[in-house]
Chain A
Amino acid sequence: MSKLVCKKCVLDSDIPGIRINEDNGLCHFCETYTPLSSQEKSEYLTKIEELFEQYRGKGKYDVIYALSGGKDSSYTLYKLKKDYSFLKVLAVQFDNGFTSEGAIKNAKKMCKITGSDYYQLTMEKEILYDTFRNAAESYDLFPKFAKYRASDICNVCITIIKQKLIEQAIIQKAPFIIFAFTAGQSPNPIINLSPNFIQWSRSLFKKQLEKIGVDDKDELFLLKSKVIENMGENAPSILHPLCLWDYSEDKVLETLLEIGWEQPGIADINSTNCTLNSFACYNHLEKYGFHPYAFDTAGLVRSGEMSREEGFEKINQELSKQLIEEAAKKLKLNVKNSQKILTTTI
């Protein structure tokens, strides 16, 4: 059967598990999609404000913030502190060994502009490279639906970030962890964690690491057991305010450039902070045959935050040969000369 493309978003029938209804031309996600209404978004924001009022001021920080230095996380920090200037924020930037100098500069600058404290989380580069290489060489490391959201490399990286941010929140007694996920990326604007769930998600990640031959006995990636033991009954909540705000990439960039954030000059349409991202996309395409940003992009198109044309442009853009080869060299991996994706140089 020839490939069918959803007439509303960018998903197609060649992506494993995606079904297109031939009668109405919609994928099963668009068929059942019910966006948050303006009223629901407003109710969620009110709920978040109530949570801020109720739990802030109890420790040194109210918020542990995931700051990559890329455009979405920089913008969300800016708007968060503009709307809620009373929040005491510790912004954590994870240097995964591929964070661009521009992203580090932007992250520090955003902290200065917003009056947030900056903390760089990093590890020995070789350990990170080994782990990402193992993720690249793995197959089916994450569940099927997780492959829609991100590549195996990005899934490992973001899970490390989540583990370590929860760890920081517990150590700092901060009631909130904030990520700048868009509507296409986040399942829920407010996630109330619980000690049991934190323990369980740690054990799931431990098994995933073991699956790729990583024995994290020093708990570099995993939430430290001792921190969990001392957690008590109050677990932090994870908030995703960006998915409740009006979002447009152009508007976000315009705002950031006005306040002094600088374009990092990475030739990757999907990342303004990570030089591993192009390789991660290449690796995902080679292994699974579809773009790891397809589902995220489809979510933005479905919710009207991106036009369908922009969506196709995003997932069909050729990946940078230079970025892929540089990352592969660090990871000691070979790159196949794929005509389909390796035609652009910067």
Chain B
Amino acid sequence: MQQVKSDIVDYLKANSFMDNNTSLKDNDSLTQNGIIDSIGLLELMDYICDKYSIEIPEDMLTPENFDSLQGITNMITKLAK
């Protein structure tokens, strides 16, 4: 689980969504903290599908699942089982 969070943070930093020195708490909102918007979400979804070889069902595309590190990690863990 920690590895997934670390992958997501690395991706966000590597693609300049956030600075190297920005710290992000598990439940911080990615959209409300100015890290991603709708285009960023699309890119993040692509990255997650490729990286974890999963398909994200339509009903899981919600803020609960995509707007925080914790939500994303929970969703990936559930789908990658």
Contact = CB atoms under 8 A, between A and B. Distances in A.
A207 B37 CA distance: 11
Contact of B40 (A17, A18, A143): A143
A144 to B, nearest CB: 7
Interface residues of B, number: 25
Interface of B: 14-20, 31-32, 34-43, 46, 58-59, 61-63
A143 B62 contact: no
Interface of chain A: mostly helix, strand, loop or mixed: helix
Interface in A129-181: 140, 142-146, 148-149, 159
Looking at B15, B37, B40, which has the most chain A CB atoms within 10 Å of its CB?
B37
B30 to A, nearest CB: 9
27 contacts: A32-B14, A142-B37, A143-B34, A143-B36, A143-B37, A144-B16, A144-B34, A144-B35, A146-B40, A148-B16, A149-B39, A159-B38, A187-B39, A187-B42, A187-B43, A188-B42, A188-B46, A191-B42, A194-B58, A195-B58, A197-B38, A200-B61, A200-B63, A201-B37, A201-B38, A204-B38, A205-B38
A222 to B, nearest CB: 13
Interface of chain B: mostly helix, strand, loop or mixed: loop
Nearest to B19: A17
Given A28-B14, A144-B17, A144-B18, A200 B42 contact: no
Nearest to A163: B38
A196 interface: yes
Contacts of A29: 15-16
A30 to B, nearest CB: 12
Given A18-B16, A32-B14, A204-B31, A197 B61 contact: yes
B22 to A, nearest CB: 9
A145 B62 contact: no
B58 A145 contact: no
Contact of A143 (B17, B46, B59): B17
A146 B14 contact: no
Given A17-B16, A188-B42, A143 B58 contact: no
A335 B7 CA distance: 44
A142 B17 CA distance: 11
